[in-house]
Structure 1
Amino acid sequence: MRVLLQPAFILHRRPYRDTSLLLEAFSHEHGRLGLVARGAASARSRLKSVLQPFVPLLLSWSGTSDLATLTVAEATERPVPLPPSQVLAGLYVNELLVRLLPRQDSLPGLFAAYRALLAELAAVADAEPPLRRFEKCLLEELGYGLSLDREAVSGMPIVAEQRYCYVLDRGPLVADSGVPGVPISGRGLLALRDGMLVDPAVLREVKHLTRAALAEQLRGRVLKTRELYRVKREPWPK
C-alpha cells in the first residue's frame, strides 16, 4: 500500500540502526502508525530537522505492516513553538496517544482536537484546562467517554451543589451511596461537560477524575512524562 501526503504529526522518534529513525506518527486518515525513516538521522539528511514533535507535516509512506517506510516528509506551515513551560505537557499528550491509540484507526476528530490543543498550549499560560479537555476527548474517541449529565442510578440531572462519587464503570453516584469511587462535585462534572474549567478547586477535582479514567485504560503502565512532572515538582536537595 502506498499513501500520499497525509496531514500528520510525529509523536515520538528514536534512533534505528546507524542512520535511520523509528517514528510513531499520528495521521489524519490513518491514525497512529509506525514508520521507519531510512537515512533520516544521517548528518546530511534534511529530514532530521523536519521530523520533530509538534510540527504540522505532510507524510507519504509505503508498506502494509505495522512498520511502514516513510517516503516523503514536508512541513506544511511554520509551527508555533511551544513555550518551554508547555513542552512537557505536549510530550505527556504524545505519550498518551502512543500508549492508548490502536494502530491504523482513523480518528479525524481526535486529530483536530490534538491540533487545537497544540495551538492552545502555545498561547496560554496554564496548560491544565486544555489538557483536561483533551483527556475528555481522548476518552470519548476511545469509546470510554465519561457520563457527566445525569446521576447513574436515578437518571436525575447533575446538580451543581451536590457531591458525587464517580464509579468508572457506572458513572456519577450521589456521594452518600457508600460505593467507592472518585469524589467530585456536581459543579466539577458540569464544568468538564462544558469545557469551562476556570475555578482552581474544580480543576483539581476534574484532574483526579480524568486521570483515574485514563489509568483504567493504561492498565498499570507508567507514563514517563508523569514521572518527569513529579520530579519537576520536587524541591532540589540542599
Structure 2
Amino acid sequence: MARARIELALAHVLRTQPFRDTSLLVEAFSQDHGRVGLVARGARAPKSRLRALLQPFQPLLLSWSEQGDLGSLTGAEAAAQPVTLSGEAVFCGWYLNELLLTLVQRHDPHPQLYADYTEALALLPQRIEPSLRRFEMRLLNELGYGLDLPDDLDAALHYRFDAEEGAIPVSAAAPQVLHVYSGASLIALRDERFDDAAALRDMRRLLNRQLKPLLGSRELESARLLRALRARSSLQ
C-alpha cells in the first residue's frame, strides 16, 4: 500500500503520550483530515524542537506520511500564537479535547467541527460556560445526535426532552421533576443565546444528559479534575 503524504495540514494536538524510547504518540485533530494518530519520532529527545511545539491549544501546520491507522509525523510548525488558558479554563480546554478523543473516530473529517473547536478555545478565556455549551451542542449536531428544538417552543412552558420525540410539554407542577427544562432555556439553546445564568444551568443539565450515553460509564478525567479543583477552592 502506498503511503499518503499530507503536507501542512492545519491541526491542534489533543493529547501526547510516550511511545517507545524517545518518540511520542500524538493524537491530533486536523481541519481537513479529522482526528489522526501520529508517531513523532525522537520528539522526547532532549534537543528535539518538537517537544515544546506539540502541545495542546497551539494551532499547528502538521505534515505526515500515512499508511494504515497511524501516520509518521514529518514536520510541524506553529500556525498562530497559542491560546493562553489559565485556572478552570485549562481543565475546560482538556474537556473539549477529551470529547473529541472519545467521540470522534480517526480519519473521519469534520471541518465544521474543527472550526467550532477553534472558536470554543478562543472564547474560553472570557466566557467558559457559553463556550462549553455551544461546543457540546454543535458536537452533538455534527455526530448526528442533535437536539430537536422546534420553532414553536413556548417560553412560558416547561418541557421534558426525549431523544426520539424531542421536546414534550409537561404540566405546571412538573418543573420540580428531574429532566424538565424551561421553554425559555430551550429557546435560548436553540438560538445560541448564552447570557442567562438560569438558562445556562438548564442547558448544562440537558447537554450532559445527551452526551452521557455516548461517553459510556467512564468519567472524563478533565471533569474529575475540575470538580476536585472547585472543591479545594470552596475550602479556602
What SS does structure 1 have at the residue aligned with 2:124?
Answer: helix
How much does 1:181 deviate? Answer: 7.1
The one-character-per-residue Cα deviations of 1:72-109 (angstroms, maximum 9, x if unpaired) are 11101222312333111100000000000011111110
How much does 1:219 deviate? Answer: 2.3
1:4 pairs with 3, 7, 10, which one? 7
Q: Which residue of 1 aligns with 2:164?
A: 169
What is the TM-score of this pair, normalised by structure 2?
A: 0.92
Q: Is the 8 A contact 1:168 1:181 kept in 2?
A: no
Q: Write the mapping of 1:75-114 to structure 2, written as runs, cut at 5 A.
A: 75-114=78-117
User: Any stretches of 5+ residues in structure 1 without a counterpart?
Assistant: 151-156
What SS does structure 2 have at the residue aligned with 1:134?
Answer: helix
Q: Is the 8 A contact 2:9 2:31 kept in 1?
A: yes
Q: Percent identity, please.
A: 45
Q: Match for 2:38: what amino acid?
A: L
What SS does structure 1 have at the residue aligned with 2:149?
Answer: coil
How much does 1:158 deviate? Answer: 0.4
Q: In 2, Cα distance between the equivalents of 1:81 and 1:131?
A: 16
Q: Match for 1:139: what amino acid?
A: L
The one-character-per-residue Cα deviations of 1:149-168 (angstroms, maximum 9, x if unpaired) are 25xxxxxx100110000112
Q: Which residue of 2 aligns with 1:154?
A: none
The one-character-per-residue Cα deviations of 1:91-140 (angstroms, maximum 9, x if unpaired) are 00000000000111111100011111111113x1x301110000000000
Q: Which residue of 2 aligns with 1:19?
A: 22
How much does 1:169 deviate? Answer: 2.7
Q: In 2, Cα distance between the equivalents of 1:52 and 1:199?
A: 34
Q: Is the 8 A contact 1:3 1:60 kept in 2?
A: yes
What is the TM-score of this pair, normalised by structure 1?
A: 0.91
Give the root-mean-square deviation of aligned CA atoms.
Answer: 1.9
How much does 1:195 deviate? Answer: 1.1
Equivalences, count: 229
What SS does structure 2 have at the residue aligned with 1:104?
Answer: coil
How much does 1:13 deviate? Answer: 0.6
Q: Is the 8 A contact 2:91 2:223 kept in 1?
A: no
Say whether 1:224 aligns with 2:227. no
Q: Write the mapping of 1:39-188 to structure 2, written as runs, cut at 5 A.
A: 39-122=42-125, 124=126, 126-149=127-150, 157-176=152-171, 182-188=179-185
The one-character-per-residue Cα deviations of 1:42-101 (angstroms, maximum 9, x if unpaired) are 101000010000000000111221111111111012223123331111000000000000
Q: In 2, Cα distance between the equivalents of 1:65 and 1:176?
A: 55
Q: Match for 1:169: what amino acid?
A: E
